[in-house]
């Protein structure tokens, strides 16, 4: 529990620092890029879990993550196309990718229940970090009403994921 909070705090610090470095207030094209990247990284983590885990509940959770994040990202792509917005790469997206790559390598070196525990713990920490960024920075900074609304829906969905991941973490401790 304590370890989870620490991971969440450190991860949150990395992201909030990256946002602070990137700009005072990220633009809509930057926000779209950050939100899409965050979803894509969670899909990659889920695919790693599907490769490595034989645990039924962990696999079911990973499949849910792939399906939901893909659905949100598909909506985001349709929206940016409609709005004529091109997502712009930025320091926050780069920080997210660097952090996720490091975590993926760490997870890839584990197996069995050690992998499952680390994957689920990371899902709790990752969703806490992304939800916090959505709530405090990305949603308040977005100017377009449709983008803001999609981010708000995304936050509701990801809060559901966090709840689900916390329930799983409880059974894996």
Partner 1 sequence: MRKISGATFAGIFQLALTFPSQGGEPVRVKITNLAFLPAEITVQAGETVEWVNEDFIDHTATETSEEWDVPIPAEKSAELKLTRAGTFSYYCRIHPGMKGTVHVIAK
Nearer to partner 1, 112 or 160 (CB): 160
167 binds partner 1, rule: CB under 8 A? yes
CB 117 within 8 Å of CB 108: no
Total chain residues near partner 1 (CB under 8 A)? 16
Tokens of 102: 């490091």
Closest CA to 53 of 64, 62, 44: 62
Classify residue 35 by burial, with Cβ atoms within 10 Å: 0-12, 13-18, 19+: buried
Q: First CA to last CA across the chain, in angstroms?
A: 9
Q: Of 17, 109, 111, 153, which lies in the binding site for partner 1, with binding defined by CB under 8 A?
A: 153
Q: Of 29, 118, 159, 172, which lies in the binding site for partner 1, with binding defined by CB under 8 A?
A: 159
157 binds partner 1, rule: CB under 8 A? yes
How many residues are listed for the chain in this entry? 173
Nearer to partner 1, 73 or 99 (CB): 73
Classify residue 102 by burial, with Cβ atoms within 10 Å: 0-12, 13-18, 19+: exposed
Name the 3-class secondary structure at 141.
helix
Residue with tokens 């949150």: 12
164 binds partner 1, rule: CB under 8 A? yes
160 binds partner 1, rule: CB under 8 A? yes
Query: What track of x and - describes contact with partner 1 for positions 29 through 68 (by CB under 8 A)?
Result: -------------------------------x---x--xx
Nearer to partner 1, 30 or 123 (CB): 123
72 binds partner 1, rule: CB under 8 A? yes
Residue ranges that bind partner 1, judged by CB under 8 A = 60, 64, 67-68, 71-72, 75, 153, 156-157, 159-161, 163-164, 167
């Amino acid at each position: 529990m304590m370890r989870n909070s620490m991971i969440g705090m450190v991860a949150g610090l990395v992201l909030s620092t990256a946002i602070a470095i990137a700009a005072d207030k990220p633009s809509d094209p930057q926000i779209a890029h950050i939100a899409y990247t965050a979803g894509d990284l969670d899909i990659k983590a889920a695919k790693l879990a599907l490769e490595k885990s034989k645990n039924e509940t962990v696999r079911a959770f990973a499949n849910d993550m792939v399906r939901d994040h893909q659905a949100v990202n598909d909506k985001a792509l349709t929206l940016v196309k409609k709005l004529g917005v091109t997502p712009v790469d930025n320091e926050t997206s780069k920080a997210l990718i660097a952090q996720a790559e490091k975590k993926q390598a760490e997870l890839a070196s584990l197996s069995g229940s050690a992998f499952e525990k680390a994957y689920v713990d990371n899902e709790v920490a990752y969703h806490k970090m992304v939800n916090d960024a959505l709530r405090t920075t990305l949603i308040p900074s977005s100017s377009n009403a449709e983008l803001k609304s999609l981010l708000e829906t995304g936050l509701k969905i990801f809060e559901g994921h966090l709840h689900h991941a916390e329930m799983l973490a409880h059974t894996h401790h």
